[in-house]
A = this chain, B = another copy of it.
């Protein structure tokens, strides 16, 4: 069993690699090799791992990687939301053309690889019903969401034609994201938990009433592994699934932080209204009915308290 991970140097890629190395098996087979692909070198600490530096959107790159004969491909690589909006051509080249080249390389390779593709709830755009049902139409309001939607459509058709065996998983916002605050409009969702836990101030740019779905990095990795192992016959031709998240308001996030870490920690959160961020966030989904994913065995975090505890366990050495 050979596994290929694109975008392997990213946060989720690294956590997925670690999980696969720990498991040692996938689909009831021993994992003999994990090929880690990214534009920068991914950490390849385990003997089973090999890092490959490659830009999938360059001619020939996908074919070279697929010649490693992966049985399972986790396609996580992509230009993120802010960058795809700022640099339209780069987003199209990486998120659309790179994905299509990877899928085409797999199409012409022997066998039928399982492909797990990380899509995003950014394929949806307001206005929404509450909750958003599984059969609600995607109407992205960003180029990133558009590009993810196009990749989803390709994944489904390539699967229907037997070129590959795809599962697209639309991830909710990942929190608590370890590392530093970044320029993403969603950064504060993690920041208001991560920074106070580290003894630092965090800024809250939106109202405490803002509701949003979350998944821990641990849940995201669980979704990926489940998507690799599930019986895709149960999916039929509808290959793309909205993953279950924990839908909470910012107020509920902060209350959970108080329960897990003590009320004093929450005092480090400073309200600092930012109408630009609030405007962007207002167009985002608040709550999904993810019965379909649930019926197919995808399991959300149980509560936002658990999401915070997962961060403390996995990223802060349980302190």
Question: Quick check: is A71 within 8 A (CB to CB) of the other chain?
Answer: no
Q: Is the CB of B135 within 8 A of A137?
A: yes
Contacts of A57 in B (CB 8 A): none
Copies assembled: 2
Separation of A150 and B149 alpha carbons in the complex (Å): 8
Separation of A201 and B256 alpha carbons in the complex (Å): 73
Stretch from A23-31, A47-55, A154-162 that touches the partner: A154-162
Q: Interface extent on A, as a size class?
A: 20 to 34
Within 8 A of B (CB), among A52-91: 88
Question: Quick check: is A125 within 8 A (CB to CB) of the other chain?
Answer: yes
Within 8 A of B (CB), among A135-155: 135-141, 143, 146, 149-150, 153-154
Separation of A139 and B119 alpha carbons in the complex (Å): 16
Contacts of A146 in B (CB 8 A): 153-154, 156-157
Contacts of A135 in B (CB 8 A): 129, 136-137
Contacts of A279 in B (CB 8 A): none
Contacts A88-B161, A146-B153, A154-B146: A137 and B138 contacting too (C-beta < 8 A)? yes
Q: Which residue of B lies closest to A100 (CB)?
A: B92
Q: Which residue of B lies closest to A89 (CB)?
A: B104
Q: Which of B125, B129, B137, B161 contacts A237 (CB 8 A)?
A: B125
Question: Quick check: is A226 within 8 A (CB to CB) of the other chain?
Answer: no
Contacts of A157 in B (CB 8 A): 140, 143, 146
Separation of A237 and B160 alpha carbons in the complex (Å): 30
Question: Quick check: is A238 within 8 A (CB to CB) of the other chain?
Answer: yes
Q: Which residue of B lies closest to A145 (CB)?
A: B157
Q: Is the CB of A136 within 8 A of B139?
A: no
| Nearest 10 CB-CB pairings of A with B | A146-B157, A137-B137, A135-B137, A149-B153, A150-B150, A146-B153, A139-B238, A150-B153, A143-B157, A141-B237
